[in-house]
Chains A and B, each alone.
Chain A
Amino acid sequence: MQSPTVANYLNSPTGWKSWLFTLDHKRIGIMYLAAIMTFFAVGGVLALIIRLQLLSPHGTLVSANTYNQLFTLHGAIMIFLFIIPSIPASLGNFVLPQMLGAKDVAFPRLNLASWYVYVFGSLFALYSIVAGAVDTGWTFYTPYSTTTNTSVVSMTLGVFILGFSSIFTGLNFIVTIHKLRLPGMTWFDMPLFVWGLYATAIIQVLATPVLGITLVLLILERTMGIGIFDPAMGGDPVLYQHFFWFYSHPAVYIMILPGMAIISELVAAFTHKKIFGYKAIAFSSLAIAFISFLVWGHHMFTSGQSELAAMMFSFLTFLVAIPSGIKVFNWVATMYKGRISLETPMLYTLSFLFLFSIGGLTGIFLGALGVDVHLHSTYFIVAHFHYVMMGGTVMAFLGGLHYWWPKMFGKMYSEFWGRIATILVFIGFNVTFFTQFILGAKGMPRRYYNYLDQYQPLHAFSSYGSWILGLGFLIMFIYLIHSLFKGKKAPGNPWGALTLEWTNSSPPPTENFETTPVLTHGPYAYDTVVADRG
């Protein structure tokens, strides 16, 4: 039954050196994918331990110090090692040049450098675990981070290095999108996944350097006591927060924009309908990128920031919801009177629409100053950002992963188990995190290792949810890896989609296209074109 293996990017060239020194964006994307999924699992296990500790109000599974280290590690790994690189570096790297009809990204060597810098930075950050794990929270607030005797320097140095990886990827994508499109492919012929990656890349190059200098200043503050963040030295700890959040707020849009970009692709492909409001979605991505730089102070409403500044940031925060809302409306409008097929990627899409809407709306609650005073640093915040980051980005990432999996590996995964896992993830996620909205509204503070008895039933319920969630992911890991060995051979275009990456074989050849593609229709021309599912 096995047909002779055709040469593709996976099997030719061969040898470990061809992978170590590869300049092929697809191979780099796959290597990133493996690392990202590994760190997702590590971060997830840390979360399970945290939720185990929180099963009982006076739990002694771990000590208080260890608990601080656990949530710091969970946050730092999930944010810097998993979610920020996730979509752009893995799926983006793999798909972007193909969607543009190009042979590679603009700077393949920079791409490889980005990968190695990512590996190096990750190792540095992980080394800090053994060198005296950081317990400051992933935000490294001063003055605690300048005085605690845990390995803040090695962790922040690791994150500093990881920042370069992110900048390299963003820079590469911007130039690729500007310069390597097929002749005849205008900006408005590009798939919306590309627009999303473009907006993300703009944020990556603008914001990440500020994180870089912030971490350098933090390291210098710790080692040389320069005195700009530490009150004992005459410094201002709120200034650190300004510096930190100037990057870290746009960073959350680095996380969500690629996810939204994937949703645009999935909604069109699995509704078999032209996307509604292409230009609105495209421009809203750019609008989100720009406005994201204006709102960072909403993380600091209770920090001692001036109230006038807080008011300004609050107003600007409401603005940023508008383009996101525009997108949601356009996706739903696309689905209206469409021919929806409920394969796994579409199930993740529906999950995204539901969960991201909740996450986004709760962000609006938090943008209101009076409300935030009560909810800041409670579990409401924890629930909010998990809804947008996990209910949003991770669902979109998994949807994209399942969408492009046949293309990347030439194998189909089990649709049956895919659906089971998605449903378990959806249920588990809501049980875990919706409960936390209630916990937070009732006053349960975040980052607490013990708590008052009255919160115990809700905490326990949330922990049970984490097990359902974990089970869902476990099943997903199993059938995905199983598909690599035993999956059905995938055709070039299993979904009948219309973007250029579906015109080549699965897996694609090393140079992406046997002959340079010719653009004959738009990326969502489902009304005029019927693509072969094969």
Chain B
Amino acid sequence: MTHADNRPAHLAHHFTDVEQQKDSAKLGMWLFLLTEVLLFGGLFAAYAIYRSTHIDMFYNAHKFLDVRLGALNTFVLIFSSVTMALAIRSVQLGDRRKALVNLGITLVCAGIFLVVKYFEYSHKFHMGQLPGKFYTFNGIAGSNPHIFFSIYFMMTGLHGIHVLGGIGTIGWMMVRTAKGEFSADYYTPLELTGLYWHLVDIIWIFLFPLLYLIG
């Protein structure tokens, strides 16, 4: 009962029109982002509880985080969010080349973010400021300072994994964009990738003050 000539190639058989498919995809993506908020939310809850019961320790421990690197990473991610939004805008306007440039810059920013995190992590490894039972540093006053670093590594670690996932997805989107799979009429996967990337940015927007700017 469907006429193949009327239906674009990317329209799945169970959707009546492109609009329905696009709206469904976007709705699905927002629901997925909802699950991501709840996933990270558990860690935010752990943070809230342990900070409220170990106020001094958290203050002392956080001083070993480099605010400049944290701020740099914040600027980098915000910038990458802008370029991600611009990439989608370029596709909406039919400018494939600009889209690729913007996606590329987004990718580079994500890479910079991870490199900075690598330096931060290796410094901590060097100092013995490791999570949980591997914690060996001896310069923080307050009870159970390993808990701060457990929470720090878990939160930034989970976030870092999501940045990694974002790099893979954005890279794949670049390939598809270069192949000409997207146009002003169809760019849904790109749009969904953008939504994901912005959420990764939002999570860091909260992580930065909570971990780096205590008091």
Contact = CB atoms under 8 A, between A and B. Distances in A.
State if A and B touch, Cβ cutoff 8 Å: yes
Interface of A: 102-108, 110, 167, 171-172, 174-175, 178-180, 205-210, 212-214, 217, 220-221, 224-228, 233-236, 239, 243, 515-516
B4 interface: no
A227 B14 contact: no
A226 B132 contact: yes
Given A175-B24, A224-B131, A243 B35 contact: no
Interface stretch (B26-34, B93-101, B105-113, B205-213): B26-34
A234 B35 contact: no
**Which of A210, A214, A234, A239 has the most chain B CB within a 10 Å cutoff?**
A234
Given A106-B24, A108-B14, A206-B34, A228 B147 contact: yes
29 contacts: A107-B28, A110-B28, A171-B31, A175-B28, A175-B31, A179-B24, A179-B27, A205-B35, A206-B34, A207-B38, A208-B35, A212-B39, A214-B42, A220-B131, A220-B150, A221-B132, A224-B133, A224-B134, A225-B134, A227-B147, A227-B150, A228-B50, A228-B147, A228-B150, A233-B144, A234-B144, A236-B49, A239-B49, A516-B1
Which secondary structure characterizes the binding site on chain B?
helix
B27 A174 contact: yes
Contacts of B122: none
Nearest to A243: B42
A224 B1 contact: no
Contacts of A220: 131-132, 150, 154
Interface in B14-64: 14-15, 20, 23-24, 27-28, 31-32, 34-36, 38-43, 45-46, 49-50
A208 B24 CA distance: 22
Contacts of B131: 220, 224, 226
Given A108-B14, A220-B132, A224-B131, A179 B23 contact: yes
Contact of A106 (B28, B34, B132, B150): B28
**Which of B39, B41, B132, B134 has the most chain A CB within a 10 Å cutoff?**
B132
B32 A206 contact: no
B38 A103 contact: no
A180 B46 contact: no
A92 B158 CA distance: 33
Nearest to B151: A228
A322 B120 CA distance: 53
A103 B31 contact: no
A3 B46 CA distance: 64
Contacts of B45: 243
B75 to A, nearest CB: 28
B136 interface: no
Contacts of A102: 14
A208 B38 CA distance: 9
A344 B186 CA distance: 51
A233 B23 contact: no
Contacts of A243: 42, 45-46
A225 B133 contact: yes
B147 A234 contact: yes
Nearest to B39: A209
A293 B66 CA distance: 38
Which secondary structure characterizes the binding site on chain A?
helix
A213 B133 contact: no
Contacts of A206: 34-35, 38
A515 B24 CA distance: 23
Contact of A171 (B32, B43, B151): B32
Nearest to B23: A179
Contact of A205 (B31, B40, B147): B31
A110 B41 CA distance: 24
Contacts of A110: 28
Query: Closest 3 interchain pairs by CB?
Result: A225-B133, A213-B42, A234-B144
Given A212-B39, A243-B45, A233 B50 contact: no
Nearest to B49: A239
Interface in B138-177: 143-144, 146-147, 150-151, 154
A171 B28 contact: yes
A210 B146 contact: no
**Which of A103, A212, A239 has the most chain B CB within a 10 Å cutoff?**
A103
B3 interface: no
Contacts of A226: 131-132, 146-147, 150, 154
Contacts of A217: 42, 46, 154
B13 interface: yes
A167 B24 contact: no
A152 to B, nearest CB: 16
Nearest to A225: B133
A363 B185 CA distance: 54
A209 B38 contact: yes
**Which of B14, B28, B40, B42 has the most chain A CB within a 10 Å cutoff?**
B14
Contact of A515 (B1, B12, B36): B1
A224 B133 CA distance: 6
Given A226-B131, A234-B144, A516-B1, A209 B150 contact: no
Nearest to B43: A213
A236 B154 CA distance: 17
B57 to A, nearest CB: 10
Interface string B59-79: 000000000000000000000
A175 B36 contact: no
Contacts of B31: 171, 174-175, 205
Nearest to A221: B132
Contacts of B20: 179-180
Contact of A227 (B12, B43, B133): B133
Given A104-B14, A243-B45, A227 B146 contact: yes
A103 B24 contact: no
Contacts of B50: 228
Contacts of B15: 180
Contacts of A227: 132-133, 144, 146-147, 150
Nearest to B32: A171
B133 A233 contact: yes
Given A226-B146, A226-B150, 6 more contacts: A102-B14, A107-B24, A171-B31, A175-B28, A212-B39, A224-B150
B29 to A, nearest CB: 10
Contact of A233 (B12, B38, B42, B146): B146
